[in-house]
A and B are shown apart, each in its own frame.
Chain A
């Protein structure tokens, strides 16, 4: 069964450094999402991406964040200058054009900013 994959599973970085989180969505899906979950808290929407552009973003997704689909398979989230409060689990999700609009989540990348 196809699945969303994410790399790395865990990343440790120092405050102020840039990080890139990578995702490979399911191949025939057209909508892509990033969510984050601070430890012990609820999952929060960051951004949605469709047709090679951002379609919607939350107030969390400020100028420090960017997303890109550099080729036909990868979908990346970049944080330019990490802060301590960026420490969280980051989930990538994708969904097809039609259907129940269920989003298929990847296993997540745990980002730790020290």
Chain B
């Protein structure tokens, strides 16, 4: 079974500053994928960034980067230069190895509400 833990129910950051959202995971799969999704107040789920367990480098997508520490089983999201529009709920998610009998279902954490102050 897979488990995702997000220990920060809420985070606050000043506009233009960087913020780190924590995510730890637990799995027995040798291969897996880690995702971050953003959910604004309107409710949709927006994909932000992906990290494969065998990727040598940490993933980056614009202002988003994923600080992947495999030995610690952590996959923290770093948002640089925060903007007011970044205020939303952020979910960390994991999928098992998508070969074999697994069809890639996502397991989500509880989420972190990020509030960006002007």
Contact = CB atoms under 8 A, between A and B. Distances in A.
Interface of A: 31, 33, 35, 41-45, 48, 50, 55-56, 58, 89, 91, 93, 95, 100-108, 110
Interface of B: 33, 35, 37, 43-47, 50, 52, 91, 93, 95, 98, 102-111
B43 A33 contact: no
Contacts, number: 60
Contact of B43 (A95, A100, A107): A107
A5 to B, nearest CB: 11
Nearest to A98: B98
A79 B95 CA distance: 26
Contacts of B37: 105
Given A48-B105, A58-B105, A101-B98, 6 more contacts: A43-B91, A45-B107, A100-B50, A101-B95, A105-B45, A108-B43
A101 B45 contact: no
A102 B103 contact: no
Given A42-B111, A91-B45, A100 B103 contact: no
User: Dominant SS at the A interface?
Assistant: strand
B84 to A, nearest CB: 22
Contacts of B50: 100, 102
Contacts of B52: 100
